[in-house]
Amino acid sequence: MAILDGRVAIITGAGGGLGAAHARVFAAEGCAVVVNDINQAAAQIVVDEIVAAGGKAIVNTSDITNYESSANAVKDAIDAFGDLHIVLNNAGVNRDRMFASMTEAEWDTIMAVHLKGHFCISSHAVHYWRDQSKAGNAVDARIINTTSGAGLQGSIGQSNYAAAKAGIAALTLNQAAELGRYGITANAVAPAARTGMTTAVEAMATRMAKPEDDSFDYWAPENVSSLLAWLAAAESKAITGRVFESEGGKISICDGWRSTAGVDKGDRWAPAEVGQAMDQLLQQEVPAQKVWGS
């Protein structure tokens, strides 16, 4: 039995790249998929592939940055397939620039597509699931968010993207803590895979190129899709509030911010004394991973 039989998912940005891979893998596991993308032609190609392979899928062109438009994605899922169980927030863009040169428009675009884009459809879906729960119906729902190593540890030349992806990781923790009472889990994944965004730089395109032989395709986006499909399945209902990394055949759990034991004077530190505390704190510190590109 396929692990997503009878379940319905909205996958954003599913007209290409990781989103298209997720849509195909979800459909192959029995999921009915709403392929959301502002590029209708690209979304239709993915839907046609899924249907030709015997799966269920429809196109949705809701603008994930527009709250009213996003409601149509949830409506289309319920109208077409009778229910909704999964929102997979995948859509994204890049506007890379060193911070000193970044424009307001480049900042705002990333915040709209990534951070607000992770809010809009999820908000409408949560309203639907909360209503179901309050009506006494069993809910087994999933929010799956897409963060990035850039958001977990920073990335030179991507301060807008890093800030948005860090926000998504924190959003995931809040969603998990608040929504479990309604039968909703929330997890995030930081993927590393071959997509149009990651191969835009020639060096990355060469590094992530598909092997010419039949060996394991380390950077294939479907490698990430397998983890997401499992997180979307009924089997994962006990897993929430986690941030995972997926690269090749490796799956990791990200260990987030934690308070250390600290240095406690038991009284107010005089400004001149703080240096002593800082020396002790830094001696005890476990260094963070380096910022990408540094």
Given 148, 155, 159, 246, which residue is catalytic? 148
Q: Is 161 a catalytic residue?
A: yes
- pLDDT, mean of residues 203-216: 68
Q: How many CB atoms lie within 10 A of CB 200?
A: 11
Predicted confidence (pLDDT) at residue 208 exceeds the cutoff of 70:
no
Question: pLDDT tens digits, residue range 43-77?
Answer: 999 999 999 999 999 999 999 999 999 999 999 99
Annotated catalytic residue 116: no
Residue 251: pLDDT above 60?
yes
- 148 a catalytic residue: yes
Pick one of 3.40.50.2300, 3.40.50.720, 3.40.50.1260, 3.20.20.140 as the CATH number of 8-253: 3.40.50.720
Round the average pLDDT of the chain to a whole number and report it: 93
Structure tokens at 15: 């007209």
